[in-house]
Amino acid sequence: MDEHIRKSMIKKIDHIGIAVKNIEEQLSWYRDVLGFELLGIENVESQKVRVAFFAIGGVHLELLEPTSPESPIAKFLEKRGTGVHHISYEVDDVQKAIDYLQKNSVQMIDIPRAGANNLTVAFVHPKASQGILTELCAHQHEH
């Protein structure tokens, strides 16, 4: 691997995605007990999920609630129950990061697409990411 590119590609952990059955049932823990700021709740129609974002120390928590039994999150909950679903790493440019990973024989399951919280996101193939579902994301900047 090209060390220089590798070191500069990932900027930070942007968020941790957590699969939940019901966002409202989780609010008393994350918002009221832990005191995290609730940034908002939104629907991501394409993924059939409702998403709540919390801020803590420059990192976000993303609670993912399925809005349909067909949602990938519904399938995850069936198999694994409530728990950590993915880690999302921030990059400057999702397509460039994908190009780099594919050059290094890393398989993707995604192309860059719109995610919650004004992010462009893409998932790495779970077989390529050592058992941790890994998302690349970039913040969409206003021009």
17 binds Co ion (CB under 5 A): yes
Q: Residue 49 has which token pair?
A: 């999920």
What part of residues 120-139 is at the interface with Co ion (CB under 5 A)?
135
Under 8 Å between Cβ of 65 and 49: yes
Strand-pair partners of 124:
108
3-state SS assignment for residue 116 = coil
Under 8 Å between Cβ of 30 and 55: no
3-state SS assignment for residue 26 = helix
Among 28-36, 69-77, 82-90, 92-100, which window interacts with Co ion (CB under 5 A)?
A: 82-90
What part of residues 83-102 is at the interface with Co ion (CB under 5 A)?
88
Per-residue contact string for residues 26-65; x = within reach of Co ion by CB under 5 A = ------------------------------------x---
Chain positions contacting Co ion, by CB under 5 A? 17, 62, 88, 135
